[in-house]
Amino acid sequence: MNAIKCSVIWSGVVLALFCGDSVASSRCAELSGCARKFCEIEHQLEQAQRANQQQKVDGLQAALENAKAHGRDPQLRQALLDDIAETRAEIAEYRQALQHAEQGGDETKIIKYRDKLEAKQQELESLLQQRATGE
């Protein structure tokens, strides 16, 4: 029984080492606004520290301090604008795919693209709200 526990624990450690970046990225994706940007900067900072990239560490620390102090770092604002543009482009793609599915009469794809379109529209509303409130 102890051998099984050790094996499971060891497997978890190995998995955590290989998936660390993915876990951190998904953790940031669950956040929004400034909290998400702080998380992303902190994640990049950890990576730079592990890679021993001191100039990058210094720059990221300054960016994080500026973002936390002012909450309106120009890079954060630009990242938000980029996210808005990307989401709008995805909405356009889903609309086109939905139109194709409707023309073909594929009910499964129609439902799929309606759901994706709705989710992206909600994401866009959230991003636009962040822009309006300055988060």
The model's pLDDT over 39-84, given as tens digits with 9 standing for 90+, comes to 888 899 999 999 998 888 888 888 777 777 666 556 777 888 899 9
Alpha carbon 107 to its chain centroid, in Å, reads 30
What is the C-alpha to C-alpha distance for residues 113 and 103, in angstroms, rounded to an integer? Answer: 13
Residues 37, 67: contact at Cβ < 8 Å? yes
Higher pLDDT, 135 or 94: 94
pLDDT, greater one: 120 or 9: 120
Residues 6+ apart with CB under 8 A from 20: none
Flag whether pLDDT at 15 surpasses 80.
Answer: no
In the chain, the DSSP E strands lie at none
Residue-level pLDDT at 120: 93
Please tell me which residue, 29 or 20, carries the higher pLDDT value: 29
- Can you tell me which residue has the tokens 């194709």? 100
Q: What is the mean pLDDT of residues 33-44?
A: 83
Q: Which secondary-structure segment (H or E) carries 104?
A: helix 74-104
Residue 24 has pLDDT above 80, yes or no: no
The residues spanned by each domain of the chain are: 19-71, 72-135
Q: What percentage of the chain carries pLDDT values higher than 70? A: 73
Confidence of residue 90 (pLDDT cuts 50, 70, 90): very high
